Structure formats: C-alpha cells, structure tokens
Amino acid sequence: MDIAKLHNLAISGTGFIFDPVTGNSFNTNETGLFIINHLKSGEPVSRLTSTLVEEYDVSAETAEQDILQMIETLRSHYLI
C-alpha cells in the first residue's frame, strides 16, 4: 500500500482531513484519526488490528471492520 499521499494531509484534531494537493476533504472520528496516524507512521495493516484492540479495548472483528472502512475511505479519495 502506497501511503506517500498521507504525508501531505492536513489532519485536524477534530477529525477534519484536508488534502492540500487536490482540495478534497472529509471528516472522520477518533478511531479514524488513530488509524490514519498509525498508517502514516508506517505501521503495517497486519499489526494495526492488535494496536487498535489494545488502545480501544474492542474485539478484533470490530477493529478490523474499522480499519477496512478507513482504508476504503482513503481509497475513495485516491489517497492510497
């Protein structure tokens, strides 16, 4: 997964994400922010599920769903 474009993003603590290259923007929640920031830092998707489970005390299934959803959102904005 190419995450180069994630480094351009302006990420607000409120969950507002702005891409200064394309002008596209979208909103996400705290979990979404957590996932984006970890992807940005280069954490592999395979390890992200356990990180999310540890941080938010959710089931592995829920964590996986959240990650897949965020990856889909990023894909729909051509960010990965």
Partner 1 sequence: MAYTVAISGINAIDNPGPGTGIAKSLKESLLDVRTIGLAYDAMEPGIYMDWVIDKSYILPYPSGDVESYITRLLDIHAIEHIDVIISALDSELPVFMKIESELARHGIRIMVPSRQSFRDRSKDKLSELAPKIGLKYPSTMAVTRVSELDKAADEYGFPLMIKGPFYEAFKVNSKEEAEKQFHTLAAKWGFPILAQKVINGEEYNLVGLGDGEGNDLGHLAIKKMVITKLGKVWTNVSIRNERIFEACRKFLELSKWRGGFELELMLEPEENELYLIEVNPRFPAWVYMATGCGINLPERMVRHLLNQTCNTHSSYDAGRIMVRYTDELISNIKAFERLTTYGES
Q: Does 23 bind partner 1 (CB under 8 A)?
A: yes
Q: Kindly indicate which of the ranges 22-30, 34-42, 57-65, 66-74 contains the residues binding partner 1, using the contact rule CB under 8 A.
A: 22-30
Report how far residue 6's alpha carbon sits from residue 63's, in angstroms, rounded to the nearest whole number: 21
Q: Does 50 bind partner 1 (CB under 8 A)?
A: no
Q: What backbone phi and psi angles, to 5 degrees, belong to 76?
A: -65, -25
Q: Does 21 bind partner 1 (CB under 8 A)?
A: yes
Q: Does 18 bind partner 1 (CB under 8 A)?
A: yes
